[in-house]
């Protein structure tokens, strides 16, 4: 029979390669369910390679066994991801906590309503700093320019949590008038 010629060597596995295969697969399973550095997984791969080396008598048998080991590890990984998708894994691997207001997590609000408003710099903007708009301090950035403390600025962009400002037009006019005199 053709299958005995191809897979017959599997019936002659001694106890040393069998232990190598069992320990290798157990270490790989342990690695899947335990977050960490990868020592069990690497050790499992080494044990599986030793099992192949102890069992195979020629290159063809080694390739067939390696292919079978890869298929078995692939099935184990498929089962792992299937369990993870259904939520049947422990809390060490999958984060179940949600970061929402009900759990006490409060994020910074976006400020699209600040677009076009003017404020005064509380700190020097080089290019990041703090301004005050309507009595509220806001972290902002410029488009690369340095703006000293106490200067009027205008919000030109509000992209999510990034608020971009530039000098207000009245400041620029005063500076230009000062340079012309």
**CB crowding 61-91: b at 16 or more within 10 Å, else e:** beebbeeebeeebeeeeeebeeeeeeeebee
Give the pLDDT confidence score for residue 26 in this predicted structure.
Answer: 92
Report the alpha-carbon distance of residue 101 to residue 116 in Å, rounded.
30
Residue 65 or residue 103, greater confidence: 65
pLDDT, average across residues 106-132: 85
pLDDT, average across residues 70-82: 88
pLDDT, average across residues 70-81: 88
Tokens describing residue 47? 């044990």
pLDDT above 70: residue 70: yes
Report residue 129's pLDDT band, with 50, 70 and 90 as the boundaries: very high
pLDDT above 70: residue 1: no
According to DSSP, the residues that pair with 162 across neighbouring strands are: 159
Give the pLDDT confidence score for residue 106 in this predicted structure.
Answer: 62
Among the listed residues 121, 113, 112, the one whose alpha carbon sits nearest the alpha carbon of residue 145: 121
Report the alpha-carbon distance of residue 144 to residue 66 in Å, rounded.
58
pLDDT above 60: residue 54: yes
Report residue 34's pLDDT band, with 50, 70 and 90 as the boundaries: confident
43 to 26, 73, 77: CA distances (angstroms): 10, 14, 17
Residue 28 or residue 177, greater confidence: 28
Count how many Cα atoms sit within 13 Å of the Cα of residue 72 in the half-sphere of its side chain. Answer: 16
Report the alpha-carbon distance of residue 5 to residue 58 in Å, rounded.
13
When computed from its CA atoms, the radius of gyration of the chain, rounded to whole angstroms, is: 33
pTM of the model: 0.47
pLDDT above 60: residue 135: yes
DSSP string, 96-152: ----SGGGT--PPPP-GGGTT-EEEESS-BSSEEEEEETTEEEEEEESS--B-TT-E
Report residue 170's pLDDT band, with 50, 70 and 90 as the boundaries: low
Give the pLDDT confidence score for residue 181 in this predicted structure.
Answer: 53
């Amino acid at each position: 029979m053709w299958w005995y010629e191809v897979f017959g060597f599997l019936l002659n596995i001694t106890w040393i390669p069998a232990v190598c295969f069992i320990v290798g697969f157990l270490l790989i399973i342990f690695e899947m369910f335990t977050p960490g550095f990868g020592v069990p997984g690497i050790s499992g791969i080494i044990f599986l390679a030793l099992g192949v080396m102890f069992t195979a008598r020629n290159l063809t048998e080694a390739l067939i066994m390696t292919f079978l080991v890869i298929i078995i590890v692939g099935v184990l990984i498929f089962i792992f991801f299937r369990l993870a998708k259904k939520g049947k894994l422990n809390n060490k691997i999958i984060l179940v906590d949600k970061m929402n207001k009900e759990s006490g997590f409060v994020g910074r609000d976006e400020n699209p309503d600040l677009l076009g408003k003017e404020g005064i710099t509380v700190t020097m903007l080089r290019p990041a700093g703090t301004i005050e708009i309507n009595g509220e301090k806001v972290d902002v950035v410029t488009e690369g320019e340095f703006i000293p403390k106490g200067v009027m600025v205008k919000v030109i962009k509000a992209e999510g949590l990034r608020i971009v400002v530039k000098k207000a037009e009245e400041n620029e006019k005063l500076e230009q008038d000062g340079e012309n005199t």
